[in-house]
Chain A
Amino acid sequence: MTLLDVRGLTIHYDLPQGTVRAVEDATFTVDRGEVVAIIGESGSGKTTLAMAIAGLLRPPGRVVRGHIYFDGLDLSRLDDDKWREIRGRDITVVFQDPNTYLNPLMSVGRQVAEVFEAHGMGSIRSREVAERAIEILRRVRIQDPDKRYWSYPHELSGGMKQRVLIAMAIALKPKLLIADEPTSALDATIQAQILDLLEELRREMGMSLLLITHDLGVAARIAHRIIVMYAGQMVEVGRADEIMSDPLHPYTRALVRSVKLDRKRLLGVPSGAPPSLISPPPGCRFHPRCPYATEQCTTWRHTLYVRDNRRVACVLYA
């Protein structure tokens, strides 16, 4: 059953230097209980997409076209008050850097308790709300949660802080949890713990998880389906196991190969950065780096071709 249905979503940033086409024509769904990973390099538009779905897109970013249907509701037509009800209750976010996404001047327990307060379950000063917050802290495996309730962010390790952010995000059993690079700021051992925790909580609560990451390894670990983005466009969508065993798009192929060989750099692709999104290259945006590029690619119009269970945006599969 579909929980989230994104259709033709296009997001621009109007800057003095020009219009940044951060996300173009994003179309995908997330089912209830499903884990979908959006993967791409920094600047591929994946975070912008996530923020738009969470209703946290800030100017100069704006949705130009498209719709986000969530649980039967058209989010793109929601007013601020309705959005406020949904944020933190039905859609929540775990952000990438636990060091800066927590308020340094407020105890972590209270920051969790605020979620209950925001959704009309009593003041953060009330005993019941504090107890619920402590319960949630215990749920994300924080030791001595009643003591930690009064700790400040600077007194906790990075992994603990990330657990606090996760606690806020699961406090009200959301339908959709968006995790934006939830492990990028942590070291490898903690990364695995946090991923396992997210996966475990998802299974217990039956929520859907939209995982935003640049790390295909992280995506392959817990995702059911993977969406690969390049320069603001979706280039391949498919089941995680299929994408990992048989990547179709040349960009995905390079990604998969570099993960399998445990390399940081993309393999088989000329090095370089993703293109400027103010004036992207004509045709396929990947063609300047693509080993298979032909004349055709400079005039090709972005289309997702259906191939078995897969959608792929490359003229090779036209």
Chain B
Amino acid sequence: MANHIINLFVSRAAKYIFCVVFLAAMVFRFLAWRGLQMAITIIGVILVLFLLVRVLPGDPARLLAGPEASQEDVEELRRLLGLDRPLHEQFAAYFLSVLSGDLGTSYRTGEPVIAEIMRRLPYTLALAVAAQSLAIAVAVPLGIVAALRPRSMAGYAASIFGVLGSSLPVFWTALLLIWAFSVELKVLPSGGAGTPAHMVLPTAVLALFLMGNLVRITRASLLEVLGANHVVTAHSKGLPWNKVLTRHVIRNALVPIVTLVGVQFGTLLGGAVITETVFGWPGIGRLVVESIFVRDYAVLQGTILIIALFFMLINFLVDIVQMFIDPRTRNV
């Protein structure tokens, strides 16, 4: 008898251990595969970036030395920056330093690129998180109500947001809000950063832009799921409407919404170039524009590399979230 129980226990334990090991192996395989994919993508990004930046017209040494500098001084500068060496040597040197975590130094300020990015990143992050949260908080509920009650106030509001949000250019809404709240009402600053009040207008402008697509996708996705056959099954069980809605409609409608939010947030992390420029917001987007103007290759390459990394990270997170929502995406 005792023997029998021990046997049972052993076989249970063995089963359990087998399950855990199996699961761990699956997760490991997934992470390894995704890691490999990302590594290959990064190498590609570094290469394309390096070449693209050098195709830009304009001579960084000349721009840096100024129009009055002599030709010898410009040549000297070029040699110092390493820009006189053949392209493949420059690339090899850059690639190796990137791998060791060094993104180079700014031609303009002589500071490490990474320091400059770190100084700008919090501003971009703050703006991105604020705008994306606001957009989700308004657009998703609005889209849901619009799908459920198309002839209600929310339905009409959703249509208006859907059209205006994505068709009004950002610079125009930005100017409109500056005129209204800074010039006329004098309640909010028109530009700069520092206090929370400075964030209000850029956040509003970006959120409005994001809301357009988000409202439309939410409504369309919900309408599609509402018409799906499995919703009829849910009703046929006698399930209360609120449970049909949360379990069988909204959850299923989430898949395309999460995908869109991922793309939007990834884009925002790359810096909202126009918004940041209009409002003088010292984020990543402005850094890219500034470094293009002075042909600061090192900063430009470094910043865009970081942006690309962020984008990949967001995509990865979106995939993980989708796996939680949709079991069909779990078999990789």
Q: Is the CB of B232 within 8 A of A87?
A: no
Residue B233 interfacial (CB < 8 Å): yes
Asked if A273 is an interface residue, CB under 8 A from chain B, the answer is no
Give CA–CA (A100, B252) in the complex, Å: 13
Min distance, Cβ B128 to any Cβ of chain A, angstroms: 29
A162 contacts the other chain (CB 8 A): no
Count: A-B pairs, CB below 8 Å: 80
B238 and A87 form a contact (CB under 8 A): yes
Q: Which of A58, A83, A100, A152 contacts B230 (CB 8 A)?
A: A100
Q: Are B232 and A101 in contact (CB under 8 A)?
A: yes
Interchain CB contact under 8 A, A85 and B238: yes
Could you tell me which residues of chain B, from 218 to 233, have a CB within 8 Å of some CB in chain A?
Answer: 228-230, 232-233
Give the total of A residues in contact with B, Cβ under 8 Å: 32
Is A54 at the interface (CB under 8 A from chain B)? yes
Q: Which residues of A contact B79 (CB under 8 A)?
A: none
* Contact (A97, B229) CB under 8 Å given A103-B252, A104-B328: yes
Whether A89 touches B328, Cβ cut-off 8 Å, given contacts A101-B232, A103-B230, A103-B252, is no
By secondary structure, the B interface counts as helix
Determine if B326 and A101 form an interchain contact, defined as CB atoms under 8 angstroms apart.
no
**Contact yes or no, A86 B238, CB < 8 A:** yes
With CB as the reference atom, state the residue of chain B lying closest to A154. Answer: B328
Query: B153 to chain A: closest CB distance in Å?
Result: 22
The 8 Å CB contact of A152, one of B248, B251, B328, is B328
* Given known A152-B327, A152-B328, contact A102–B236 (CB-CB < 8 A): no
Stretch at the interface among A114-122, A128-136, A226-234: A114-122
* Contacting residue for B327 out of A83, A118, A154, CB 8 A: A154
Query: By the criterion CB–CB under 8 Å, are A114 and B239 in contact?
Result: yes
Q: Which residues of B contact A58 (CB under 8 A)?
A: 232
Q: Is the CB of A56 within 8 A of B236?
A: yes
Chain B residues near A106 (CB, 8 Å)? 247-248
Kindly supply a per-residue 1/0 record for chain B positions 234-274, scoring 1 wherever the CB is within 8 Å of any chain A CB and 0 otherwise. 11111110010001100110000000000000000000000
Which of B233, B243, B247 touches A102 (beta carbons < 8 Å)? B233
* CA A111 to CA B239, docked complex, whole Å: 11
Tell whether B325 is near chain A: CB-to-CB under 8 Å. yes
- Find chain B residues with CB under 8 A from A256 CB: none
By a beta-carbon cutoff of 8 Å, the part of chain B in contact with chain A is 228-230, 232-240, 243, 247-248, 251-252, 325-328
Given contacts A84-B238, A95-B232, A97-B229, 15 further A-B contacts (CB under 8 A): A56-B232, A56-B236, A87-B236, A92-B237, A95-B229, A101-B230, A102-B230, A103-B234, A103-B252, A111-B233, A117-B243, A118-B238, A118-B239, A152-B328, A165-B233
Top 6 A-B pairs, shortest CB-CB distance: A88-B238, A88-B237, A87-B238, A100-B229, A103-B230, A152-B327
